[in-house]
Amino acid sequence: MRDYTKFYIDGQWVDPAVANPLDVINPATEEVAGKINLGSAADVDRAVAAAKAAFPAFARTSVKERIELLGAIAGEYQKRYNDIAAAITEEMGAPAWLSNQAQAALGIGHIATAIEVLKGYKFDELKGTTLITKEPIGVCAFITPWNWPINQIACKVAPALAVGCTMVLKPSEIAPFSAYIWTEILHAAGVPKGVFNLVNGDGPGVGVALSSHKDVDMVSFTGSTRAGIAVAKNAADTVKRVAQELGGKSPNIVLPDADLVKAVSGGVQSVMMNSGQSCNAPTRMLVPRAKMAEAAAIAKQVAEATTVGDPNGNSAMGPVVSETQWHKIQGLIEQGIKEGATLVAGGPGRPEGLDKGYYVKPTIFADVTNDMTIAREEIFGPVLAMLPYDSGEDAIAIGNDTVYGLAAYVQGEPEHARLVARELRAGQVNINQAGFDLMAPFGGYKQSGNGREWGDHGFADFLEVKAIIGFGEAQAAE
């Protein structure tokens, strides 16, 4: 049983202003795995005050000092790598192999990327006699989700530290364990007191207090579009910067010249990874109408071969994160059946032999039309909707016909795929199942958010731009 009931404020672990305990449930067992406290506005005030007090000195640190600090964090992270991976499996149900190979790996990846970017980043640029300088924005509030918990913490904290910001983190109360270990890592690495602070809590208790706080200069939020809208409204009264990485309903266009087996198989596997709980999952697969039956047969085979079970075993897929999420997914599967989509694999209920844990069957729907609920709403579970199209223009139109624009995918002959990729309204387009690129900007069009994370683009939201006119030597008055 993990006891994570303290907050980290001003370089030390402290009790909350008022105890408000919450059980954290292991989604594989439905049993209590640990306890945290839910914070309040009083805790937020204390953490923000610490970050504000620490900002002037930390903002003046040199690039060399910040590179050394990030290097120390990377070293401490490696020491706790297995602890991070185990915590992620326990708190949100990711299979152990996924926690080790991807979830925990992305954490160290973002630290290393921030170091590499910082080494060559130009904070100052002289244009004529005007100096364009980039300065840390100030106190940042980070509100992060449960689905890729360390990834979303690291891709905010690492660049913010790199440019000289101070911060307060509210991790997901559903999956808070890895955030505590992350905080222990930063403390061990010697992050100056007040620079990084952690307050646990829910949206109404801590999220609202952070996003509306007068001394917070920017808020970076990752989560649902619904919650992102609320964060932006809360932040509006103080005109603070808001960066958002929100929902998605990403199209995966399988072109007529694609290798159908490879394209469909890879697409299904991508949806099922992390139990479908990825905002950029390719959950709408678009296939030529004449190939729908063949594509559905391939998808069925892959889905039914996807093993589901104990995340500490050898299963490809673990549970979804919570009972609430399980019921939401079940309702949307039932809706797909009700609206007339063809159920190819999976369906309602738990997989056979799994009577405990929030497990969902890998589910495939074929013959989906883009007006159906399962094609419009983000299900955030292992559910794929397969939609037919009649022409390339039709595929692009269907792909773009969504309020979201986080990611898109194209499979086919490379030159053809490049042409289609340019027409898709999404912040990141993946051609032919290319691998991760931590330098590629990540963020969305439309209701998928504002701003970009990852790589050098991930620095921008944490910087203000100042023009100092007449700074240069060749001034007209001389």
Residue type (1 letter), 267 = G
Residues 320/330, Cβ–Cβ less than 8 Å: no
pLDDT at residue number 474: 52
In whole angstroms, give the CA distance from residue 471 to residue 478: 12
pLDDT at residue number 473: 72
DSSP β-ladder status, 241-245 and 449-450: antiparallel
Spatial neighbors of 76 by CB under 8 A, at least 6 apart, are 185, 186, 188, 189
Catalogue the active-site residues: 245, 279
Residues 275/237, Cβ–Cβ less than 8 Å: no
pLDDT mean by block of 10 residues, the chain; 478 residues: 98 98 98 98 98 99 98 98 98 98 98 98 96 98 98 98 98 98 98 98 97 98 95 97 97 98 98 98 98 98 98 96 98 98 98 97 98 98 98 98 98 98 98 95 97 97 97 59
In our burial notation (b when 16+ CB lie closer than 10 A, e otherwise), range 108-127 reads bbbbbbbbbbbeebeeeeee
pLDDT at residue number 46: 98
3-state secondary structure of 366: strand
pLDDT at residue number 477: 39
pLDDT at residue number 478: 40
Which domains does the chain carry?
2-246+444-468 (3.40.605.10), 251-431 (3.40.309.10)
